Amino acid sequence: MKKVIFILIFVIVSLVFFGCNSDKENKNSMPTLEELKEAFGTEEYDEKLKEIQKNIDDASYEDICSNIEKTLDEWVENQNLLEIEDTSIEFSQDETMMNLGLNEKLYANIFVKIRVDYKSDKDIENERDLAYQAIEEIKQVMSKNIYCIFKVANKNSLCIGFYNNNKLRYGWDTLDTNEVYSTGKQNIKIETNLAEMNVQTIVYDFVKKWDKDVFDKADNPNYSDKYPNIFLKNFGLLEDDNSLYIGIIMFSAYFGESEEETLEDLEDKSIEIKNLILENEEAKKFLKEKGVTKIKILFNTRWTKENFHSYEYDI
- Quick one: which H or E segment has residue 300? strand 294-301
Contacts of 28 (CB under 8 A, 6+ apart): none
* Number of domains the chain contains: 2
Q: Is residue 23 part of a domain?
A: no
Instruction: Specify whether 204 is located in the same domain as 291.
Output: yes
Q: Is residue 131 part of a domain?
A: yes
Q: Is residue 2 part of a domain?
A: no
Q: Is residue 152 part of a domain?
A: yes
- pLDDT for 40 equals 78
- pLDDT for 1 equals 44
The model's pLDDT over 146-202, given as tens digits with 9 standing for 90+, comes to 999 999 999 988 999 999 999 999 999 998 888 777 767 898 999 899 999 999 999
In this prediction the pTM is 0.85
Distance between CA atoms of 87 and 292, rounded to whole angstroms?
A: 40
Q: Is residue 77 part of a domain?
A: yes
Give me the residues paired with residue 298 across strands. Answer: 247, 310
Instruction: Specify whether 165 is located in the same domain as 200.
Output: no
- pLDDT for 182 equals 74
Instruction: Specify whether 153 is located in the same domain as 45.
Output: yes
Residues composing the chain: 315
- pLDDT for 122 equals 67
Instruction: Specify whether 203 is located in the same domain as 287.
Output: yes
Q: Is residue 138 part of a domain?
A: yes
Give yes or no for a contact between 89 and 114, defined as CB atoms under 8 angstroms apart: yes
Q: Which residues of the chain have pLDDT under 50?
A: 1-27
Residue type (1 letter), 145: N
Using alpha carbons, select from 87, 101, 303 the residue that is nearest to residue 212.
101
- Quick one: which H or E segment has residue 140? helix 127-142
Instruction: Specify whether 150 is located in the same domain as 257.
Output: no
Instruction: Specify whether 129 is located in the same domain as 224.
Output: no
Instruction: Specify whether 134 is located in the same domain as 241.
Output: no
Domain CATH code at residue 281: 3.30.300
Give yes or no for a contact between 191 and 180, defined as CB atoms under 8 angstroms apart: no
Q: Is residue 74 part of a domain?
A: yes
Instruction: Specify whether 82 is located in the same domain as 123.
Output: yes
Instruction: Specify whether 121 is located in the same domain as 215.
Output: no
Instruction: Specify whether 149 is located in the same domain as 257.
Output: no
- pLDDT for 118 equals 96
The model's pLDDT over 118-141, given as tens digits with 9 standing for 90+, comes to 998 766 779 999 999 999 999 999
Instruction: Specify whether 39 is located in the same domain as 160.
Output: yes
Domain carrying residue 134: 33-100+107-171
Q: Is residue 203 part of a domain?
A: yes
- pLDDT for 132 equals 97
Instruction: Specify whether 212 is located in the same domain as 264.
Output: yes
Give yes or no for a contact between 302 and 258, defined as CB atoms under 8 angstroms apart: no
